[in-house]
């Protein structure tokens, strides 16, 4: 198949229209300041529908993962499949709301 300009544009259009699954882990790198800023922005943009109890749960999960990542010998990238499985289970149990 020969790739001409029209076919290439169509491929790009289709790729841009694909829905990104927020529960799929990606390989992303972040510096310390980017990491801190992303956390602040995520919380600032959180739905006003979140109850104080839900915010507490989210904070506990965040602290738990951060604590695990700082333990000697723990490599979250090495446990990526397990973390993905946990995210998939949560998604299945809670259902897609978005």
Domain ranges, residue 86: 5-94
The band of 48, judged by pLDDT with boundaries at 50, 70 and 90, is confident
0.75 exceeded by pTM:
no
3-state class percentages of the chain: helix first, strand second, coil last, to nearest 5: 65, 0, 35
Structural domain count of the chain: 1
83 within 8 A of 28, measured Cβ to Cβ = no
Tens digit of each residue's pLDDT (9 = 90 or more) over 10-30: 777 766 666 656 667 777 788
């Amino acid at each position: 198949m020969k790739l001409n300009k029209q076919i290439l544009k169509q491929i790009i259009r289709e790729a841009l229209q694909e829905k990104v699954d927020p529960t799929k882990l990606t390989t992303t790198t972040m510096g310390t300041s980017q990491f801190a800023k992303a956390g602040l922005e995520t919380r600032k943009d959180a739905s006003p529908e979140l109850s104080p109890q839900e915010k507490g749960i989210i904070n506990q999960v965040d602290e738990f993962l951060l604590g695990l990542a700082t333990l000697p010998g723990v490599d979250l990238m090495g446990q990526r499949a397990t973390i993905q499985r946990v995210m998939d289970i949560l998604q299945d149990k809670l259902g897609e709301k978005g």
